[in-house]
Amino acid sequence: MASVTSATSPRAGELPAGLRGFREVQRLAYACAEAVAAQLRPGITERAAARMQREWLRERGVRDWFHLPFAWFGDRTAFVNFRVPLQFFPTHRELEPGMPFILDMAPIHRGYTADIGYSGCLGLNPVHDRLLADLEAHRELILREVRERRPLREIYEDVDRLMARQGYANRHRAYPFGVIAHKVDRVRQRRWSPTLFGFGTQSLKGLASDALHGHRDGWSPLWSPYTFSDHPPQPGLWAVEPHLGFRGTGAKFEEILVVTDSKDPQESAFWLDDDLPHVRRWQEEKTA
Amino acid sequence: MQQPAVGSGTGLDGARERWVPTGGIELCVAELGDPARPTVMLVHGYPDSKEVWSEVARGLADRFHVVLYDVRGCGRSTAPQPLRGGFTLEKLTDDFLAVADAVSPDRPVHVVGHDWGSVQAWEFATVRRTEGRIASFTSLSGPSLDHFGHWIKKRMARPTPRRAAQLLNQSAKSWYVYLLHTPVLPELAWKGPLGTRWPKILQRVEKVPGGDYPTASLPTDAAHGAWLYRDNVLPRLRRPRTDAYAHCPVQLITPTGDAFLSQRLYDDLEQWAPQLVRRTLPAKHWVPRTRPDQLVSWIGEFVTAKEEGDPAKRVVASGPHADRFGGQLVLVTGAAGGIGRATAFAFAEAGARIIAVDRDAEGAARTAEMSRLIGAPAAWAEVADVSDEAAMEKLADKVDAEYGTVDVLVNNAGIGLSGAFLQTSAEDWKKVLDVNLWGVIHGCRIFGKRMADRGQGGHIVNIASAAAFQPSRVLPAYSTSKAAVLMLSECLRAELAGQGIGVSAICPGLVNTGITTTARFTGVSADEEKRRQAKAARMYGLRNYPPEKVADAILRAVVRNQAVVPVTPEARGAHLMSRFAPRALRALARFEPRL
C-alpha cells in the first residue's frame, strides 16, 4: 500500500484480520463511488444515482446497510436550507454541468461496515476544487489531535475553528446531533435485514447498545459538539466525516479512523486506509 | 455650409472631426482613439449634442475607437429642410449607416444610445437593413417606441389594477412629450427663457456638474429636436412594428431615479432582445454626465466580452443584485472573518471588485482569494488597522492610485468589550472607541471624502449593532461606541444625500461570528475571561444566526438605500421597543446575564 502522509498507519502492511475486513469493504464502497461517479451525466437525478450505488453494491454481495446510499447534487451538497433529516434523502434534483455532487454510502459486507463519502464535480468547478484541497488540513488535524488524546469535543471545536479560518461553514452541524463522526462496528449477518428510515436495523441496534454502554462509562458513540462528547477518543472504529460548505458548494470525505488503546502515539490512532481517492488526489497535486 | 476642421472648441479635446454627407445634410462626426480598435459609437439624446458624452468618450478612448456624431439638426450638423418629416426613424437610420460606413466600413460597430439616442438605436438594432452592422447595443434611458407601443397596448387591453397603475405612472412621467407636440411654443420657450435657464435647471434638479456641457447650440438643438417627437411618437405608438426583435446582444442600463421613464417599461424586454444583460444604476436621467465612470466600466466590459466572442462567458455574475454591483469597487474592513468576510463574498458573487482590509493579513488574503473564485473580477487583500489614521490615509492613497475610487465602503471592523462601567478602565475605553468609533470615522472621512470629490455617488455602510439602541449594564463601552456609529451614520446620511452618496447603519444583533472569542471581559482574571469568551461563543453558536444573512441585508440596504437596518429578529424587536416601549427596554438593561 502506498504510504503517502504522516497519517499512514504503522501497521499498514500487517493489519489484523478484523481490520482487513473493514478495509476491504471500505475499498469496495470507494470503488462503487468511483464507478458511479464515472457514469454520472447531465440530467441524472439524485435518486437514479443512489439507485446505481445500491445496485452496484448488491451485485457484489452487499445485503445489509448501515445506511442506504445517498446522493446530493448542486447546492444540496452544502445542505442549503436543510432543516429536517428527511431532506437528506435523494430527490429528483438533476445533475447539470459544473455541478458538485456527493455520494455517501454505508454498505455492510460479510459483517464488516464501511461508511464513506465521495465528493466530485461534473466538469470544472474551481470552488469545489478548492474545498477538496482544503479538506486535507482537516484529515491531518483530526488524526494529530486524536493521537494527543484530546477530548473529542475539543477536537470538534478545533475543526470548527479551522473551517471558520478557511472561510467555510461547518455543514456536519446539519447532521443528526451535529456529529462529525460516529462509531462503526461488526454487524451480525441476518437473512432478513430491514432498514428503518434508511438505516439498517442491525447497525442501529449496535449503535444503541454502544450508546447504552457508553452512557454508563461516560462516553458516546456519536462525536458531537455537545457535552456527551467531552471525553478522550474511545478505542474502536470511527467513521469520520468533516463536511465543508461554501455558498452553495459542499465537499466532504468520510472514512474510518482506527483508535486503539496503545501507548505508542503512532499506533494509538491511524486512518484505516491511505489509498483512497481523495488522498491520492492530494498526493497527485503535490507531485504536480 | 461649415468646412471640415481638425480639433474644435467643443468639449472633445483631441478629437478628429469630419463631416459625413447623408440625404442632403452634413453630419458632424468626431473620432477618438485608435481606429484599428473596435468601434464604439455614442448617440446622444434630446436636447443634447454629442458633447453630452465627452466624459464617457474620454474614458473609453484608450481601449476603443470612439465615434460620436451630432444627430441631424443638433450641434454642428445641419438640419433637414423642411423640418417636418425630416426626423423620422428611417432617416435617422440612414444617418447611422452613413456614419458607420464612413468610420468603420469593414467591421460592425458597438452602439451606445442615451435618451433619444437609445430610442434611435433600438430602431437600428431591430430593423433588417442594419443587420451585420451592429455588434452590440447598450441602451440608456430610451425604450424602443415599438416596444413602448406594445407595452401600452398590453396594459390598455387588460388593465389589472397593477397594470393601470403602471400606465398612469408612465403617462405622468411623459408630460413633456405632450407639450412638445404643441406647435411653435416649445421652440419659443427654448429660444427664450428655457434655453438660458436650462444649464441651471440641470444642475439643480439632475445634479449634472457644469463644465463644457450643454453647448451654446442648445436652443436650436432643442427646437429642432422637438421634431423627433412630432415625426415619430404618435405613428409608432399607434401602430408599433410587430417584428422589432433585436439582432444583436443588448445591455440595458436603467437609472433607478429617472424622472422620465418608469423602470417597469422594460419588464418584458427579454421577449424582444434574446441576449439581454440588465444593469441598474442609482442615478437620475443624465447618467452620461453624472455617472461616466460606471458607464465606461460597463460599456467596456460588455463590448470586450462581445469582441472576444465567447458566448459562454458570463457578462453578469450569478449572485443577487449582480445587475447593480457588477464591476463596482467595494472595500470591506474587518474582512478576515465573520460579517466582513461574508459581506465581501456576497459582493463578490454580485460581480464586484473587492478590497478586503484587515489587521490579519492571512485572513484578508484568504477572503480575497475566495472572492475571486466565486465571481469577483478582481480582489485584493490589504493590511491596515482601522484605528490608525496614518495607515488608513496610506491605504486610501494606494487604493486611489491602483484600483480607483471606492463605490461602496463597508466599515465593519470592530471589537467586543464586556464589563460593568465602574470596572472598565480608561485604557479599555480608549481601545474600544479607537476601533469601533474612530475606525468608522477614519473610514468615512478618508474614503468618503474621495467618494464625494469624484462626484459620482456611492454608498457607505457602517456596521453598528443592536447594542446601539439597546442599553445594557454589561456592555456600556461597546454600546456607547456603537450608538455613536449609529448617530454618525445618520448625520452623514443627511450631509451626503445631496451628492448621491447613501449611508446605511446596519444593526445585526446576535450573530455567530468570531467577535465573541476575541471580546474582552473587564474586571475578571485571565482564566475567567477565557471561560466567559468560550461561554459567549457557545451561546452565539447556539443562536447560530449566520453572518451570510447579515451580508444579504447589507446588499439589500445599499440597493434600497435604507438608513437603519436591524437584522436579526431580536435586533428588530429591540429597535421597535426603543421607539415604542423604551421603558421596558431600560428595565431589561438592568438584567445581568450569567456568563
Residue at B163 is within a domain: yes
Place of cell 462626484: B455
> What average pLDDT does this structure show over A235-254?
94
C-alpha cell at A87: 431532506
As to burial, measured by CB atoms within 10 angstroms (0-12 exposed, 13-18 middle, 19+ buried), residue B210 is exposed
Q: Is the pLDDT of residue A204 over 90?
A: no
CB-nearest to B341 from A126, A167, A225 is: A167
Report the alpha-carbon distance of residue A140 to residue A5 in Å, rounded: 9
Domain coverage including residue B488: 321-589
Overall number of domains in chain B: 2
Q: End of a domain among B308, B329, B352?
A: B308
Q: Which residues in chain A have their CB less than 8 angstroms from residue B337's CB?
A: 164-165
**Chain B: nearest CA to A278, how far in angstroms?**
21
Catalytic site residue from B213, B229, B478, B540? B478
User: What are the φ and ψ backbone dihedral angles of B259, each rounded to 5 degrees?
Assistant: -75, -15
Q: Considering only CA atoms, which of A80, A96, A238, A218 is closest in space to residue A155? A: A238
- The secondary element (H helix, E strand) that includes residue B392 is helix B389-402
Q: Do B302 and B325 belong together in one domain?
A: no
Active site residue B46: no
The shortest CB-CB distance from A166 to any of B349, B366, B548 is to B366
Q: Using an 8 Å Cβ cutoff, are B182 and B226 in contact?
A: no
Using CA atoms, how far apart are residues B458 and B448, in angstroms rounded to an integer? 9
pLDDT in tens, A91-140: 999 999 999 999 999 999 999 999 999 999 998 899 999 999 999 999 99
Measured distance CA(B457)–CA(B451) in Å, rounded:
7
Contact between chains at A247 and B546 (C-beta distance less than 8 A): no
Task: Report how far residue B200's alpha carbon sits from residue B210's, in angstroms, rounded to the nearest whole number.
Answer: 9
CB-CB under 8 Å, A165 with B363: yes
List CB contacts (< 8 A) between A167 and chain B. Answer: 341, 345, 366-367, 370
Cα–Cα dist B28/B506, whole Å: 51
| Residue B546 near chain A (CB below 8 Å) | yes
| Cβ neighbours of A127 in B, within 8 Å | 373-374
Same domain, B248 and B355: no
Minimal CA–CA distance to B75: which of B16, B137, B9?
Answer: B9
Of B349, B363, B367, the CB nearest to A247: B349
Q: Are B1 and B78 in contact (CB under 8 A)?
A: yes
Single-letter residue type at B417: L
State whether B354 and B301 are in the same domain: no
Give the mutation candidate from B372, B374, B515, B533 for the A interface (greatest A CB count, under 10 A): B374
Residue B325 to chain A, least CA–CA distance (Å): 18
End-to-end CA distance of chain A: 21
- Is the domain of B289 the same as that of B368? no
Q: Which residues of B98-121 are buried (b: 16+ CB within 10 A; e: fewer)?
A: bbbebbbeeebbbbbbbbbbbbbb
**Is B6 a member of any domain?**
no
Check whether residue B283 and residue B373 sit in a common domain: no
Give yes or no for a contact between A40 and A49, defined as CB atoms under 8 angstroms apart: yes
For position B585, which CATH number holds?
A: 3.40.50.720
> Does some domain include residue B485?
yes
Looking at the fold, whether B396 and B291 belong to one and the same domain comes out as no
Cβ within 8 Å, pair A246-B370: yes
pLDDT at A4 over 70: no
B374 and B279 in a common domain:
no
Q: Provide mean pLDDT across the span A232-252.
A: 93
Residues B265 and B411 in one domain: no
Rounded Cα distance between B177 and B174, Å, is: 5
Cis peptide bond N-terminal to B80, omega within 30: no
Report the distance separating Cα B124 and Cα B133, nearest Å.
9
- Does a structural domain hold residue B150? yes
Residues B448 and B365 in one domain: yes
**CB proximity B360 to A under 8 Å:** no
What does the pLDDT look like over A97-106, one tens digit per residue?
999 999 999 9
Residue of chain A whose Cα is closest to the Cα of B374: A127
Distance from CA of B335 to the nearest CA of A (A): 11
Segments of chain B with pLDDT less than 70:
1-11, 310-315
- Within-domain flag for B74: yes
Does residue B347 contact residue B332 with C-beta atoms inside 8 Å?
A: yes
What is the average pLDDT value for chain A, to the nearest integer? 89
Does the distance separating the beta carbons of A126 and B367 come in below 8 Å?
A: no
Task: Please report, in angstroms and rounded to a whole number, the separation of the first and last CA atoms in chain B.
Answer: 87
Judge: B548–A247 Cβ closer than 8 Å, yes or no: yes
- The answer to the question of residue B40 being in a domain is yes
Residues B171 and B43 in one domain: yes
Chain B residues touching A247 at Cβ < 8 A: 345, 349, 374, 548
Inter-chain residue contact B546 with A127, CB threshold 8 Å: no
Tell me the CATH number at B107.
3.40.50.1820
Position B316 in a domain: no
Residues B278 and B395 in one domain: no
pLDDT value at position B160?
A: 92
In Å, what is the CA distance from B119 to each residue of A59, B92, B129, B145, B292? 67, 11, 17, 7, 20
Who among B370, B514, B548 is closest to A164 (CB)?
A: B514
Residue from A125, A160, A161, A165 whose CB has the most chain B CBs within 10 Å, to mutate: A165
Q: What is the pLDDT of residue A6?
A: 40
Q: Are A127 and B374 in contact (CB < 8 Å)?
A: yes
- Report the C-alpha gap between A142 and A139 in whole angstroms: 5
Which of the listed residues B308, B338, B358 is the one where a domain comes to its end? B308
pLDDT confidence tier of residue A17, bands split at 50, 70 and 90: confident
Residue B4 domain-assigned?
no
Residues of A in contact with B363 (CB under 8 A): 165
Q: How many Cβ atoms sit within 10 Å of the Cβ of residue B540?
A: 18
Which of A19-23, A199-203, B182-186, B459-463 is least confident? A199-203
Chain B nearest-CA residue for A128: B373
Write down which residue in B262, B285, B308 finishes a domain. B308
Residues of A in contact with B541 (CB under 8 A): 225
Same domain, B534 and B585: yes
Looking at chain B, which residue has its C-alpha nearest residue A174? B544
Instruction: Nearest chain A residue to B360 by CA: give it.
Output: A165
